[in-house]
Amino acid sequence: MKTFCICLMISLPLLVVGQEDDSSSNSFNLSLASGTVMASVKDQNISSQRYSGTLTPIVFSWGHYRKGYDWDLKISYASGTINNYNVRATLNDFNMTWNYLYPIKDFQLISNRPTSWFGGLSPNLWMYYRKQEIAEPGQFLYSVKIALNMSLSTGLKGSLSNKIGYRISSRFNLISYALSSEVNEGNTGTSTKLSTVFSTPLLESELAMHYQLISWLKMGLGYRFKYYNHESLSLANDSFTVSLSATF
Amino acid sequence: MNKMITVIFSLIIFCSCSDLVIPEEENYSIKMADFNEVWEIVDRQYPFLEFKEIDWNAMYEKYEPRIKASQGDEYMNELINLLSELEDGHVGLETKSGYVRTYYMPRELKDKLSYSPELVRSYFDRELVLTGDGHMNYGTIDNMIGYIRIETWSENDRNWAVDIDKAINSLRTTDGLIIDVRHNGGGCTCLSNVVTSRFIDQPLKVPGIIRNGIFYEGDIIQPNKSAPYENDIVLLINGVSFSATEVFARDMKTIDRVTLVGGTTGGGGGAVNYYDLPSQLKVRLTFQNSLRYDLSPIEWNGIEPDIIIEQSETDIVNGRDKQLEFAIEYLKN
């Protein structure tokens, strides 16, 4: 069986941090990252059991930093095998997020002076495709979810030295309106639902550090935790990535 | 502050939160309930335990420890292994992921690649005519020999009587008729009986069935000459001809002017039912023993052809459908 889920979310963070520290008034940033994702999934449409495994991600982001605001487009794709003991499934996870971020102020924190940002509308498209290997190909199930979220986020970023910087951020939804559609052979169901963070929680937290190799090139290490829960699907990811970013 | 962030970062790198927030589900009671239910359903309903000399009590002893030792969804694999002991092509496990067939008959595996509809079409000058939803198609070879291909006996909303009458009427002037049910995996005998009725001259009392150990008399198929065809017929069968197709072959074999050509059918002789398990899985199980005219089961025995013409994947790859070629020459002569 194959499970295919598309989720579109639009977030309105009140406070979000997600951009690399760049003091240029107008610059572009191109970043490529890969690493490993440790995924845990419980999809009640397929099984009541938890499946865990590692996926290999490819993350591409393109950002434009201006004086008044920043925007970036981040696309990530991860695939791999998840297991429940000796029962396997293949998982494909696709994410596309578009952020608009507005600087607010910097502040003193112990011996550091991180800056903070306000985030605008951030559409997020998430696709989840799962093929269970316990059975022969049979029913094909896909679900389409479109959700509009009002989210609350916090974060800060700063420098540890001339060459080393850090970024910490988290985002979660407050209210979301979701359209879900599931299709298998001969059966189609569509539903809409207004839900809150308590019924459809989405939480993402990120911690990243980067090292300036040369003036326009940075290498980064990142960790991101994501948790999503909507009706029959619970999903949590730990992502560890290594990135190269070019600013020009 | 710098050191603190570095330490926090290092700690997080080596932690994994995903397994903590998605807890494992304990399923010992449900898997044992499923296992016991499967065993009891088979013990209660399956009509071939004695015929196949299966010690079902011994199977309980064999699989109970395996089910107990299994973890998570592994027990479903053990349920599949348990059901595969029945060596029945009709039996399977319906999971939330889809249906798992637990066994493939030996003749089915042997003939799996020894038939090609594309190769069959190459013997025709013109495209075959499709009826309705494509389960049946027909045409003529050398303007002399009629050909009807029936792919499946699956139930649908169409009126099969209309389809078969249309095909037969179109081929009425041919010198002989080939009915090809190779690789027809079965369906409803209610549909195969419609086709049978077009070719029998007298009412046909079919063999009975055995259900829950009780013998039930067979039905009588009445002839229906709405589309009469009086010339010789060759019925093509092979190891992938299964279930309702075997019932069809069994009944067509009683007609004098019908000759069965090809290979012995798969040997799936029974009707099936779905049974719910406590975990919402389902078992698909044969509950009825369909008999041949000698009152032996169709199960495992199959229906033998009158003329054995074996063909292999190599023949197909080399562009030869020997069974079809034999049928054509047989009817021409």
- Average pLDDT by consecutive 10-residue portion of chain A (248 residues)? 40 37 67 94 84 94 80 88 88 80 67 67 73 58 53 71 84 65 52 68 85 91 88 86 92
Q: Which of A163-167, B14-18, B125-129, B130-134 shows the lowest mean pLDDT across its residues?
A: B14-18
Q: Assess B117–A contact: CB distance below 8 Å, yes or no.
A: no
CB crowding A17-33: b at 16 or more within 10 Å, else e:
bbbbbeeeeebebebeb
Look up residue B313 and give its amino acid. Answer: E
In this predicted structure, what is the pLDDT of residue A51?
Answer: 92
Nearest-10 crossing angle of helices B189-197, B244-252: 20
Which pair of structure tokens corresponds to residue B83?
């059901």
Cβ distance B25 to A236 less than 8 Å, yes or no, reads: no
Nearest to A238 among B16, B23, B76 (CB): B16
What is the rounded average pLDDT of the residues B44-56?
Answer: 96
- Residues within 8 A of A (CB atoms), B 264-283 only: 279
Distance (Å) from the alpha carbon of A85 to chain B's nearest alpha carbon? 7
Q: Reply yes or no on whether the pLDDT at B314 is more than 90.
A: yes
In this predicted structure, what is the pLDDT of residue B127?
Answer: 86
pLDDT band of B100, cuts 50, 70, 90: confident
Cβ distance A109 to B1 less than 8 Å, yes or no, reads: yes
Over residues B194-230, the pLDDT tens digits come to 999 999 999 999 999 999 889 999 999 999 988 889 9
CB pairs under 8 A between A and B: 113
Q: Reply yes or no on whether the pLDDT at B88 is more than 90.
A: yes
DSSP code of residue B127: P
Residues of B in contact with A137 (CB under 8 A): 98
pLDDT band of B50, cuts 50, 70, 90: very high
Kindly report the number of other CB atoms within 10 A of residue B316's CB atom.
17
Cβ distance A40 to B21 less than 8 Å, yes or no, reads: yes
Chain B nearest-CA residue for A39 = B18
In this predicted structure, what is the pLDDT of residue A87?
Answer: 87
Q: Reply yes or no on whether the pLDDT at B255 is more than 60.
A: yes
CA dist., res. A108 & res. A120, Å (int): 24
Residues of A in contact with B2 (CB under 8 A): 111-112, 160-161
ipTM: 0.74
Which pair of structure tokens corresponds to residue A123?
């559409």
- Residues from A in contact with B at Cβ < 8 Å: 1, 38-42, 45-50, 52, 84-87, 109-112, 132, 134-139, 160-161, 166, 207, 209, 221, 223, 225, 227, 234-238, 240
Chain A nearest-CA residue for B92 = A135
Q: What distances in angstroms separate CA B220 from CA A178, A206, B193, B206, one per listed residue?
A: 57, 74, 10, 6
- The answer to whether B199 touches B258, Cβ cutoff 8 Å, is yes
Greater confidence, A153 or B64?
B64
Cβ distance B2 to A238 less than 8 Å, yes or no, reads: no
Cβ distance A236 to B21 less than 8 Å, yes or no, reads: yes
Cβ distance B25 to A48 less than 8 Å, yes or no, reads: yes
Chain B nearest-CA residue for A165 = B2
Residues of A in contact with B34 (CB under 8 A): none
Look up residue B238 and give its amino acid. Answer: N
In this predicted structure, what is the pLDDT of residue B3?
Answer: 56
Helix, strand and coil content of chain B, in percent to the nearest 5, comes to: 35, 20, 45
With a pLDDT cut of 90, the percent of chain B lying above it is 78
Look up residue A187 and give its amino acid. Answer: N
CA B271, B274, B275, B277 dihedral sign is positive
- The answer to whether B145 touches B175, Cβ cutoff 8 Å, is yes
Cβ distance B22 to A135 less than 8 Å, yes or no, reads: no
Greater confidence, B143 or B296?
B296
Q: What distances in angstroms separate CA A44 from CA A33, A51, A235, B96, B333, one per listed residue?
A: 32, 11, 11, 9, 62
Q: Which of A5-14, B243-252, B322-331 shows the lowest mean pLDDT across its residues?
A: A5-14
- Residues within 8 A of A (CB atoms), B 170-199 only: none
Cβ distance A227 to B21 less than 8 Å, yes or no, reads: yes
- Give residue B322's region: left, alpha or beta (phi > 0; psi -120 to 50): alpha
Question: Which of A36, A41, A229, A238 to mutate: most B Cβ within 10 Å?
Answer: A238
CA dist., res. B284 & res. B102, Å (int): 10
Chain A nearest-CA residue for B79 = A134
Q: Assess B76–A contact: CB distance below 8 Å, yes or no.
A: yes
Look up residue B19 and give its amino acid. Answer: D
- The answer to whether A68 touches A120, Cβ cutoff 8 Å, is no
Q: Reply yes or no on whether the pLDDT at B149 is more than 50.
A: yes
CA dist., res. A128 & res. A8, Å (int): 11
Compute and round to an integer the Cα radius of gyration of chain B: 26
Residues of B in contact with A86 (CB under 8 A): 74, 77
In this predicted structure, what is the pLDDT of residue A3?
Answer: 40
Kindly report the number of other CB atoms within 10 A of residue A78's CB atom.
22
CA B211 to chain centre: 20
CA dist., res. A88 & res. A90, Å (int): 7
Q: Assess B25–A contact: CB distance below 8 Å, yes or no.
A: yes
Question: Which of B67, B77, B81, B97 to mutate: most A Cβ within 10 Å?
Answer: B97
- The answer to whether A169 touches A119, Cβ cutoff 8 Å, is no
Cβ distance A40 to B22 less than 8 Å, yes or no, reads: yes
Query: How many Cα atoms are found within 13 Å in the side-chain-facing hemisphere of B254?
Result: 20
Q: Which of B41-50, B154-163, B231-240 shows the lowest mean pLDDT across its residues?
A: B154-163
In this predicted structure, what is the pLDDT of residue A181?
Answer: 55
Which residues have a Cβ under 8 Å from the Cβ of B78 and sit 6 or more positions away? B35, B63, B66, B67, B70
Look up residue B237 and give its amino acid. Answer: I
Cβ distance A87 to B76 less than 8 Å, yes or no, reads: yes
Cβ distance B73 to A85 less than 8 Å, yes or no, reads: yes
Whole-model pTM?
Answer: 0.81
Burial class of residue A105 in the structure, from the number of CB atoms within 10 Å of its CB (0-12 exposed, 13-18 middle, 19+ buried): exposed
Nearest in space to A68 (alpha carbons), one of A31, A19, A10, A123: A19
Distance (Å) from the alpha carbon of B199 to chain A's nearest alpha carbon? 35
Which pair of structure tokens corresponds to residue B217?
């008399």
Residues of A in contact with B76 (CB under 8 A): 87, 134
